[in-house]
Chains A and B, each alone.
Chain A
């Protein structure tokens, strides 16, 4: 190892270097002071102006007009002006050496609000069908005082119940009736809360405010995967970033420590207990995140200098994970072990399984998919360039954290999601690498920021495609919610609930009592039969229906949008099914509104 360089020494050198570049003459100071004041005023005015324009832009948005590009095509010009202004203001803040942390925080929180609170403010109901599903799981946990019986494919939640148990406890302690109210606000609140551990993580490698806040901005500009709704993944990800920040802060190269401050390179007992508590909660709350955590810890332990810190945490995490998987999660793992082993033997299919069937998807969705992929590729390419162009980042754990999720790509497809999850877990570290590439102080900081601004805008534009482009299937009208609630309230226990896709709010409200059939997940032959003749195609799925345990078929607007977007079934399938069922006397319409219809089938007559 070479001689250790002190942080303060580096800072002072940099500081004195800045003085040398700009001799402190009175005239020079006045000029600089004047320019800086103008920049400061601009920074302070643009933030409230952008937020005001954003709120004004949300007054008249025609949500019914969403098609191929979701919210992108219905948001007014004023919204985009506000977003552009916000980015410009942030760039001006970066260009000013004296911008305080409070203004940076204001801009990043403003960005979070604009991106993540917009759907919450616009939509009359909870966004995204999986968020509805998780609300239903919390309700079921409360009803059953724990493990939910007859959970079928949702049994996985019984084996990793941390998030659901926490919400069940919270609801009963506070006396609130349902998680629906706060689940609606989860995306903006989660992202705002995540900012703190992100900053902590970034502060472990640098104390340059511009890099730290620039990295936070890059993170929120690139986090298009959308794993920020009411879900165990969001909860576990928050804990993951916190835990990695604590481990990074303990490493020998951490920037958290100052010259003269003391440390031992060993974990203080209390701090180690804290890290293990967080690891235990991650392990008991989400099946995938522990693997990401172990992979990240293995990567961080590769440099010899880190091992004294990382290996105890890695060992503790592995032991806890094995204990959990051998006990509580054992039923699920033993049932799915063959699938898991099969996945290990077919790494190529795991990597590509997350990609959409582009040939059959809606034309706009093809564009959205390519923009998603372009943004993801750009993030990795920029991070790689930073690795080459900024030698100091190689001494940090960041490059290791970027590549750490990649081995899991070959291990399991995770329902086609693995490639997106790998991106999500790489992004906190990648964002600081990108910030270092774009914003690291040079001789001409304003020119540098001017050059970085278009790139920040481009990244943000890419995010809007990925995050807003699929909203026509994620948004539900009140009529659709009423249809889902109608089925949950009126279907006798044992009834089969049939839908074309999962894009039905409240589809799982009674998943422990009523078996679910989702037609887009069925075998290709069954789907083809359904397309050729909807009534005959349905027969196999509703044959157990009886007057006491009928089948309910839900057809709705969001399902039609979902099918159109993904192309799993032809776009007009919902309309053709509705037309065919309405002509068949055995299918009785029991609920009908502008956006949804429910048929009851209780067996063929005669």
Chain B
């Protein structure tokens, strides 16, 4: 298990502890909880949901992971607090503990269907005329195509 996964698994509990023991006005509390709420649940979820390792080094994959980190963090927070507010049972501690548990689970769980999935068939690329692609991707490591890519322009 990587240190990132261990850190993600612990992050929610650390945020909950900070909220429980630090007073409202403290900057440290605002910084820790903001960092957790904006990053950790989404990062754990996007790691869990990533379909495979094929695109790990692709710049687009990094962009996608960044997008999902923020949007999923916010989305998961919404899905955790909405039922609590709707049922009149919301407390900050309950919401944070629920989010911490989900984040831990996503960080520690194996990916769905990871080992059992069959090798998918290869798809050669988009259909005719699906777009010009004159500019090489700047990340030469991202190809995995078996063909040399043009050098990255700098």
CA distance A261 to B84 in the complex (A): 43
Interface residues of A in 115-174 (CB under 8 A from B): 141, 145-147, 161-163, 165-166, 168-170, 172-174
Contact B150 A11 (CB under 8 A): yes
CA distance A479 to B33 in the complex (A): 34
Cross-chain contact of B72 among A101, A163, A257, A274 (Cβ < 8 A): A274
CB distance from B22 to the nearest CB of A (A): 8
Residue from B63, B88, B92 within 8 A of A169 (CB atoms): B92
| Residues 82-136 of B at the A interface (beta carbon under 8 Å) | 82, 84-86, 88, 90, 92, 95-96, 111-113, 119-136
Task: Tell me, in angstroms, the Cα distance from A269 to B51 when the chains sit together.
Answer: 8
For B95, list chain A residues within 8 Å (CB).
169, 173
Residues of chain A within 8 A of B147, CB atoms compared: 8, 12, 259
Contact B127–A253 (Cβ < 8 Å): yes
B79 at interface (Cβ–Cβ under 8 A)? yes
CB distance from B152 to the nearest CB of A (A): 9
Distance between Cα atoms of A168 and B71 in the complex (Å): 18
Partner of A277, one of B79, B112, B119, B123: B79
Verify if B10 is at the interface (C-beta below 8 Å from A). Answer: no
Q: Which residues of B contact A176 (CB under 8 A)?
A: 30
Q: Does A410 contact B (CB under 8 A)?
A: no
CB distance from A168 to the nearest CB of B (A): 7
B50 within 8 A of A: yes
Closest chain-A Cβ to B64's Cβ sits at a distance in Å of 6
Distance in angstroms between the alpha carbons of A163 and B79 in the assembled complex? 11
How many A residues touch B, CB cutoff 8 Å?
92
Least CB separation from B64: chain A residue: A200
A280: nearest residue on chain B (CB-CB)? Answer: B79
CA distance A433 to B124 in the complex (A): 25
CA distance A168 to B90 in the complex (A): 10
Cβ of A270 and Cβ of B48 under 8 Å apart?
A: yes
Whether B145 and A4, one on each chain, are in contact in the complex, defined by CB atoms closer than 8 angstroms, is no
Residue B78 at the A interface, CB < 8 A?
A: yes
Bound state CA distance, A199 and B64, in angstroms? 9
Contact between B51 and A268, CB atoms less than 8 A apart: yes
Give Cα A281–Cα B82 distance, bound, in whole angstroms: 10
Contact indicator A197/B71 (Cβ below 8 Å)? yes
How would you classify the secondary structure of chain A's contact residues: helix, strand, loop or mixed? helix
B1-28 Cβ-contact flags toward A at 8 Å (1 or 0) = 0000000000000010001001111100
CA distance A51 to B110 in the complex (A): 47
Cβ-closest chain A residue relative to B118: A264
A273 to B79, CA, bound (A): 13
Interface size, chain B (Cβ < 8 Å): 79
Closest to B146 in A: A260
Q: Which residues of B contact A257 (CB under 8 A)?
A: 123, 125-126
B130-A392 in contact (CB<8A): yes
Q: Which residues of A contact B130 (CB under 8 A)?
A: 5, 205, 253, 255, 392, 395-396
User: A334 interface residue, CB < 8 Å from B?
Assistant: no
Q: Are B133 and A264 in contact (CB under 8 A)?
A: no
A245 on the interface (CB 8 Å rule)?
Answer: yes
Please determine whether B121 and A262 come into contact, CB atoms closer than 8 angstroms: yes
Taking CB atoms and an 8 Å cut-off, the chain A residues in 186-207 that contact chain B are 193, 196-197, 199-200, 203, 205-207
CA distance A588 to B79 in the complex (A): 48
Contacts of B125 in A (CB 8 A): 4-9, 257-259
Q: What residue in chain A is nearest B48 (Cβ atoms)?
A: A270
Q: How far is the CB of B54 from chain A (nearest CB, A)?
A: 5
Contact of A264 among B60, B64, B120 (CB under 8 A): B120
Contact of A255 among B30, B113, B126, B138 (CB under 8 A): B126
User: What does the 1/0 interface line of A360-401 toward B look like (CB < 8 Å)?
Assistant: 000000000000000000000000000000011111100000
Q: Output the least CB separation between A427 and chain B (Å).
A: 18
Asked whether A59 is an interface residue with its Cβ less than 8 Å from the other chain, the reply is no
Most chain B beta-carbon contacts within 10 A, residue among A172, A193, A203, A278 = A172
Taking the nearest CB of chain A, how far is it from the CB of B112, in angstroms?
4
A-B complex: 3 closest residue pairs judged by Cβ atoms: A270-B49, A175-B24, A14-B134
Question: Can you add 4 more A-B contacts, CB < 8 Å, to A196-B63, A395-B130?
Answer: A175-B29, A205-B131, A255-B133, A395-B129
